[in-house]
Amino acid sequence: MNPQPSHLTALDLPVPSQDQLPEVFQKYFALCEEKLGLIPNVLKAYSHNIAQLEAFSSLYNELMLGKSGLSNLEKEMIAVAVSASNACYYCQVAHGAAVREYSQKPTLGELLVMNYRVAELSERHIAMLDFSVKLTESPHRMNENDRQQLRDVGFSDQDIWDIANIAGFYNMTNRVASAVDMQPNLEYHSQHR
């Protein structure tokens, strides 16, 4: 097995050390390390541009940790299904670990990466992931029937808004991560097994 590259990205970005960051991000990175056991490489990469780090982390925190009718597991399942559709290595690994954590099922993250349709999922979750993947692969084909299928399994219009925003966010981050060959933290591979 080849060891994972030690770089964050294929770009030579001027990534500051943690003590060179503004105090608010020193605290944020310390909190990540405390809660996750690591500082996600995506945050380290974004730290070369503090305004972008602030925008990225603010939107991530609102979408993934903010109040919603979606559970944390459902949000992470969307992240994985979208990332699998886009073949984004970074997000498949990182969010696959989060799916394992929230579901307490050590194989669910990999099932979602490989093909969520073979996982034992509820009708609600299949509809949610079908919607997210369709939005990823053919957004111009979205129609009222797609939204109604979500309503039929119990999602509110606010939930549909949240699903669309989370899927849209990961479509953006997948493209950035793939474009710059962003590497996931090695720790993700062994977490929550």
Q: What is the pTM for the complete model shown?
A: 0.94
d(CA 78, CA 130): 10
d(CA 15, CA 49): 8
Q: Is the pLDDT of residue 5 over 70?
A: no
Task: Count structural domains, the chain.
Answer: 2
Judgement on whether residues 41 and 85 belong to the same structural domain of the protein: no
| Rg value, the chain, Cα | 17
In a domain, 113, yes or no: yes
Judgement on whether residues 42 and 100 belong to the same structural domain of the protein: no
pLDDT grade for 52, boundaries at 50, 70 and 90: very high
d(CA 104, CA 38): 20
Q: Which helix (H) or strand (E) holds 168?
A: helix 157-179
Query: Collapsing DSSP states into helix, strand and coil, what is residue 7?
Result: coil
In a domain, 8, yes or no: no
Mean pLDDT of 32-49: 96
d(CA 113, CA 93): 9
**Number of residues written out for the chain:** 193
In a domain, 1, yes or no: no
pLDDT in tens, 140-193: 999 999 999 999 999 999 999 999 999 999 999 999 999 999 999 999 888 877
Residue with tokens 């990540």: 32
Judgement on whether residues 78 and 46 belong to the same structural domain of the protein: no
Structural domain boundaries, residue 163: 72-190
Judgement on whether residues 87 and 103 belong to the same structural domain of the protein: yes
CATH of the domain at 34: 1.20.5.810
pLDDT in tens, 112-141: 999 999 999 999 999 999 999 999 999 999
Q: Is the pLDDT of residue 21 over 70?
A: yes
The answer to whether the beta carbons of residues 163 and 64 sit under 8 Å apart is no
In a domain, 12, yes or no: no
The answer to whether the beta carbons of residues 150 and 159 sit under 8 Å apart is yes
